[in-house]
A and B are shown apart, each in its own frame.
Chain A
Amino acid sequence: MNPAIIELKGIRKTYNAGTPVAAEVLHGIDIAIGRSEFACLIGPSGSGKSTLLNLIGLLEWPSAGSYHLRGRPIEQADDDERTRARLETLGFVFQFHHLLPAFTALENVMLPGLMRYGAHTTEQRANATELLTAVGLGGALHKRPPELSGGMQQRVAIARALALAPELVLADEPTGNLDTHSADDVFELMRRFNETRGTAFLIVTHDPRLAARCDRVIELRDGAVVSDALRQS
């Protein structure tokens, strides 16, 4: 049995709770993601994909339900504990990559290490260099984000998400604003890290072509899971 990294049961999310404009956007979600899974989350706009990803990423609090992260309940944890859990367990990749423009590619990838260990070690530098080389940017270590193309920036973001070897990387439309060729590259990269390092991925995507290449497809519609299927291989 593959032990679950995250396990959500009956998760609900209501915005503006207690007011006349209260709106429940997630109606009791049950999802578990295990080690080394490569899953994607699909659904039309407004189906609650981003909200669910933010809940899983501990950036928002659920209104009801339970959430266990590596077997520990986390739905009631305070901000400091959630922040620590994000740093130690999760990696993030966003649609608009969100690199820090004042830092070079290498420094961006080393930031999580600096946060966690309070210092730059040669080991971290080697790790960051290795990651950037693995995403094909070994020659652009000291370039700043504005000097890189969109696809290159997203590859830096993936390297940064993997810097502390998280168990799960949450990717919110990572290929959303890339051309088809770059999108394929970025997707293949995540796939490769999943296979070589055993990192689990949960990818929100609109692109059915990419969804078809994931091991597991979770479909969300109107705030509820309508299908959750493993791809037959």
Chain B
Amino acid sequence: MMRFEWAVALRFLREGGMQTVLIVAGSTVGIAVIVFISSFLGDLQQDLIRRTLGVQPGIIVRPAEEVAHPQRGPGGAALIEQVQARAQRLRSVDQWQALQAELEATPGIRAVSPVASGPGLVTRGDVNKSVTITGIVPERYVAVTRLDEKIVAGDLRLNPGDTVIGTDLARDLGVALGDKVRLSTPTSAGDAYQVRAIYDLGQRNLNRAYAYVTLPTAQALLNLTGGVSSVELAIDDLFGAEALAARLQARVPHEVESWMKANSQLRTALNNQTVMTLLVRFFLALVVAIGLASVLIVSVVQKTREIGILRAMGASRGRILRVFLLQGVLIGVVGAVLGSACGYLLTSVMSDVLRADDGTPLFTAHFNLALYLYTVLGATVLGLVAAVMPARRAANLDPAQAIRL
């Protein structure tokens, strides 16, 4: 199939010499940058989300808010004109054990962690600091929040008399590992707890926010016997959080909230970033296509006589058209293969160079086969589209005139 077209297209490209080398190099650079941006953007955003969210889960399930239902008269009209919104008590998620089992069986959910949290005070000597007392089952909680990676002193093995606090809170209170602090709540006078570990989430306010205790301890302190204030979920696809939350919302009688809703500013910023990089990639592709088209147009002009003689010898318009379309595709595909390789190298190098303040790489270079396949596919279409105008011009040359030149 198309042996003639292949033979002529390949020879024309080879004959093009430096012209061909330059356009392949240009396509390679353009495609390499597109591959580079595509491969690190996802990683970079995931990393940003992880760092910004701290210990926030992908999705959180809470008891539905209590609403005041005004009494209604016959005909449905409210009997009372002014209805005050209810204050939200600390309540437990109804039948949370069953919910936990159900969520664990749901596809897309990687881990489920029950949490009992509420307001409290941590006291040492005459210093009081308000914190969120957070009762956790450590092995479940770390599966959702990776708190274990944030521990800077001690370790996250909570016994009933232990607590874990943040670095800044520890400094405020002047406590070190092994020291005792008092935890109390409005409903409980509290007790003394030993600081078992100290965490650092990289944000000062978060490092003052939580005092972690075991789930039963928190239940006792917060007067939530046997209950949990929320169930937190780790999900496979961070960007699919909103969709998954909506599906869960339809199934459970609780309030389901994704990180996207809880952090709409972050989400907007990420969306803008995605749109911007999409634009950059689009215009890069456009520049590659324009370069390709202009080189092919020049080639058609240079080869006018040869096109004329091929037509006289019996090459149809379709064949001449395909000879030039094929050249566009070939340049596109070669550019995509070289560009993917260069993009991968660039990603590897940059993942070494770009690091977060804690020294960990901002993103990791992995061999993303699907990305490279899409790149080659995209470049094929790009080359084909870019070659349409030059190819039509070549095919429509009048052979009698072309030969006379």
Contact = CB atoms under 8 A, between A and B. Distances in A.
A119 B3 contact: yes
Interface in B1-21: 1-4, 7-8, 11-12, 14-15
A67 to B, nearest CB: 15
A103 B313 CA distance: 15
Interface of B: 1-4, 7-8, 11-12, 14-15, 305-306, 308-319, 399-400, 403-404
Interface in A107-130: 107, 111-112, 114-116, 118-120
Contacts of B310: 100, 111
A115 B3 CA distance: 8
A1 interface: no
Given A60-B400, A102-B12, A103-B11, A114 B316 contact: no
A229 to B, nearest CB: 28
10 contacts: A79-B316, A83-B314, A83-B315, A86-B313, A92-B309, A92-B313, A94-B309, A101-B306, A118-B3, A120-B3
B4 A114 contact: yes
B306 A83 contact: no
Decide if the interface of chain B is mainly helix, strand, loop or mixed: helix
B313 to A, nearest CB: 6
Contacts of B308: 98
A80 interface: yes
A84 interface: yes
Contacts of B4: 111, 114-115, 118
A87 interface: yes
Contacts of B309: 92, 94, 98, 100
Contacts of B306: 98, 100-101
Contacts of B315: 83, 87, 115
Nearest to B405: A96
Given A100-B306, A102-B14, 12 more contacts: A59-B312, A79-B317, A84-B316, A86-B314, A101-B15, A102-B11, A102-B15, A107-B7, A111-B4, A112-B313, A115-B319, A116-B314
Interface of A: 50, 54, 57, 59-60, 79-80, 83-84, 86-88, 92, 94, 98, 100-103, 107, 111-112, 114-116, 118-120, 160
Contact of B399 (A59, A87, A107, A120): A59
A60 B308 CA distance: 13
A94 B308 CA distance: 11
B316 A83 contact: yes
B1 A98 contact: no
Contacts of A60: 400
A54 B3 contact: no
Contact of A88 (B15, B311, B314, B403): B314
A114 B313 CA distance: 11
A111 B12 contact: no
Nearest to B311: A83
Contacts of A59: 311-312, 399-400, 403
B403 A83 contact: no
